[in-house]
Amino acid sequence: MTQNHSRKRVLVHGVPETSAIWTPLIKELDLLGDHDVVLLSPPAFGAPRAADFGATVDDYRDWLIGELSTFDEPVDLVGHDFGGGHVLGAVWTRPDLVHSWASDVIGVLEPDYVWHPVARIWQTPDEGERFIEELFGGTTDDRAERMRDMGILPPAAREVADGQGPEMAAAILALYRSGAQPALARRGENLPKAAQRPGLAIIATEDGNVGSVEQRQRAAGRAGARIHTLDGLGHWWMLQDPARGARMLADFWDGV
């Protein structure tokens, strides 16, 4: 069983989410003795977005660096979905702020990664606006049903839906368009710098949005990261099997 640690564990979620996706995992981490967990919500994804915040890949990297700079010591950093991208950008830019890192999207930084179909729609002018308006339209119940269809399990689906609106929609379009290829591949050239801190590449085998298993393995090698394979789990592994996810993270932190 994991011992009680004082070092902060910092979790960062992605798109189109709020921090509600972490709730079951946090409960399991608490049972394992990891009580000092901090949730950082990116601007427009559960936290306010300032008028001058551009919502690009680099803007979110800088936001995360700013948040990490407020802690007294380096943290154990975990990122999911685009939050996993924010984590990697912060690690290779300011490794001094990080004790260890984990990401479940490392494969998207491979030069041959192709964005998933929904991302490509969001990256397309006009078509992206129409799609996001439909996705976020209607009542909270309507959006919650769409989130369940995407794979976000109850009750997180409704909590996530409750946080969605025009501000998040606009930020999604700006974020994904700033990361359209080849921009993401160019950022991936920095991946070897992430090896400056102990890393964990989380590979949920049924997640088809973040690159092939081979791409994720290859990227982990470039980043000098350990690999943990979550066989049978998909994009929202932390909701599908939070106990398994918590044990994975606790074992990684104990071994750092």
Domain 9-114+184-255 is of which CATH architecture?
3-Layer(aba) Sandwich (3.40)
pLDDT single digits (tens) 35-72 = 999 999 999 999 999 999 999 999 999 999 999 999 99
Question: What is the chain's mean pLDDT, rounded?
Answer: 96
Confidence of residue 4 (pLDDT cuts 50, 70, 90): very low
Q: What is the pLDDT of residue 3?
A: 43
Q: What is the pLDDT of residue 1?
A: 35
Q: What's the pTM value of the predicted model, to 2 decimals? A: 0.96
Chain-centre distance for alpha carbon 55? 15
Q: Which of these, 232, 241, 239, 41, lies nearest to 147 by C-alpha position? A: 239
Structural domain boundaries in the chain:
9-114+184-255
Whole-angstrom CA distances from 142 to 14, 124, 147, 164, 189 are: 21, 24, 9, 11, 40
Contacts of residue 178, Cβ cutoff 8 Å, sequence gap at least 6: 55, 56, 57, 58
Whole-angstrom CA distances from 185 to 9, 27, 235 are: 28, 36, 21
Average pLDDT over residues 11-35: 97
Give, in degrees to the nearest 5, the angle at Cα 131 between 130 and 133: 65
